[in-house]
Structure 1
């Protein structure tokens, strides 16, 4: 190394040493101190600004991370609350339906009732069938009445070992003997469906002079002996004369909304005074003939 370079290096080392001593406060060089301050102040300011910016950025990142975690937790809690609300609403609805069924069972001790659940529906154009989870193994037979706490749902049409098809009362294929519940009337006819959604049932074969008015409750007559009397079918909406003017017909709003039925009772046995009277008369006539 040349002498010139060596001398320059020694001068630089000496200056650095003096600046270090000045910064440390051990040696006071007023002129040098001013130079040091002039040189280091911008650097120190920049470092402090950068440090503050980094600290602020770190704080913001930490706040955003915390907010994201809190939002995620809130989302989970909201989802859990939503599921809990749905489960509670389902439980409340089921409890309400079952309470009504239980109340109905207590009101008709003369009927043997088998609980069942609707497990399928006819999704075709007619929509006049539902499938229940009870069948021949449970003692179900054709023509048995299927009811809820509101009234008649329909009649058993087909039976399988562990399931059965129920023909809804709204079906045009379903025909059932009926009468007006009002004591002053007791008019008798036949109720059938129209197989059209949101259409009233039709009560036919009523005499022209039959005492049937709007608001009358229509129930099963029980005359056929295949199902009990007194099952609520619906309420008379309006009456009209047939085309020939000889018979009266009545539109009947069904008591049960079959589209919402989930739990039902199948009437597997009942006390039917009318059927017993008919059997007694038959036996009496047979005895007299002998």
Structure 2
């Protein structure tokens, strides 16, 4: 009984609630002509900023995703373009090399036409000693191609050197700039004999030594020097280079000079090997030899100076 009394709602509370509801109804009826926002409108008003923020965030993340996709696509295209550029660069390099080889071959052809009395064969340089200069190098022709020791080698516009070693499919060439090289030369205009000595140190300035020129020689700067007819191993008439300067020796009996080689010994790639030995010319009785224009005069009488010069040159010429 006591519990029932405690849980029972008092009538005054019920009356108060009903009164509030009545007042609410009266208020609603008074203002029912006015625009009263509905619950949906209120919710929409509250959700609109949130929806706008969500949409903005979605657009932002979507733009990031698009940019990443575009970046990846551009990177992929860039890689493809880089590959194409590398391939084109390789082709261009190959074409440039082929063009350079073609120009070299044209020069060699012109050179072979310059010495029509000599049989020649082309060869490519396949190896060289360390350093900037082609003082000693290997070519891709050997005994199987008819190459023999002491055959002369030319390129560009003149004499390169001499074959010192022959293998089946390759040969070693020592150029005239090598420190051990001595070539019996001759001033073209007056046939004065001289010795052209290899000198790698001097070659850094683009010149070689010329020694034992007769004191009364009329040699001057710009004179052409060719291989002489009294050399034991070098064929006559091959262009060596041009006189750069002339000096008087201390002995006052001879002159010395500096010579600029006709060949660029820093940029060789292809050469011509003359398949004729000086010894074969001497055996056939043609010891006078030939010059650039055709023949050296047959007057082979040597003066004392010429004999001494030839001996000096041939002591080191062509030896390994």
Change (3 A) 1:181 1:52: same
Deviation at 1:169, TM superposition (A): 0.2
Aligned-partner Cα distance in 1 for 2:287–2:275: 20
Change (3 A) 1:153 1:77: same
Matched, 1:190 2:200: no
Aligned-partner Cα distance in 1 for 2:67–2:60: 10
Deviation at 1:29, TM superposition (A): 8.4
Change (3 A) 1:89 1:120: same
Matched residue SS, 1:141:
coil
Cα RMSD for the two superposed structures: 2.9
Instruction: Choose which of 49, 54, 63 in structure 2 pairs with 1:56.
Output: 63
Tell me if the contact between 1:229 and 1:272 (Cα under 8 Å) persists in the aligned partners: no
Structure 1 segment 125-140 matched on structure 2, within 5 A: 128-140=135-147
Structure 1 segment 69-84 matched on structure 2, within 5 A: 69-84=76-91
Matched residue SS, 1:71:
helix
Structure 1 segment 119-198 matched on structure 2, within 5 A: 119-123=126-130, 128-182=135-189, 185-196=190-201, 197-198=203-204
Aligned length: 252
Matched, 1:91 2:101: no
1:42-77 per-residue CA deviation (whole Å, 9 max, x = no partner) reads: 332233223222322222222222222222223222
Matched residue SS, 2:77:
helix
Structure-1-length-normalised TM-score: 0.77
Change (3 A) 1:43 1:125: closer
Instruction: Choose which of 260, 264, 286 in structure 2 pairs with 1:276.
Output: 286
The equivalent of 1:24 in structure 2 is: none
Tell me if the contact between 2:129 and 2:136 (Cα under 8 Å) persists in the aligned partners: yes
Tell me if the contact between 1:205 and 1:248 (Cα under 8 Å) persists in the aligned partners: yes
Instruction: Choose which of 216, 220, 223 in structure 1 pairs with 2:227.
Output: 220
Aligned-partner Cα distance in 2 for 1:243–1:61: 82
List alignment gaps of at least 5 residues for structure 2: 1-34, 290-297, 300-320
Aligned-partner Cα distance in 2 for 1:148–1:74: 41
The equivalent of 2:15 in structure 1 is: none
Deviation at 1:162, TM superposition (A): 2.4
Change (3 A) 1:241 1:258: same
Instruction: Choose which of 206, 216, 229 in structure 2 pairs with 1:209.
Output: 216
Change (3 A) 1:30 1:130: same
Aligned-partner Cα distance in 1 for 2:253–2:143: 44
Structure-2-length-normalised TM-score: 0.70
1:59-118 per-residue CA deviation (whole Å, 9 max, x = no partner) reads: 222222222222222322222232222222212211111110112123322111021111
Deviation at 1:158, TM superposition (A): 2.1
Matched residue SS, 2:120:
strand
Tell me if the contact between 2:132 and 2:266 (Cα under 8 Å) persists in the aligned partners: no
Between stretches 245-254 and 196-205, larger displacement belongs to 196-205
Aligned-partner Cα distance in 2 for 1:131–1:46: 79
Matched, 1:109 2:116: yes
Tell me if the contact between 2:124 and 2:271 (Cα under 8 Å) persists in the aligned partners: yes
Rg larger in structure: 2
The equivalent of 2:16 in structure 1 is: none
Instruction: Choose which of 259, 284, 293 in structure 2 pairs with 1:252.
Output: 259
Tell me if the contact between 1:177 and 1:220 (Cα under 8 Å) persists in the aligned partners: yes
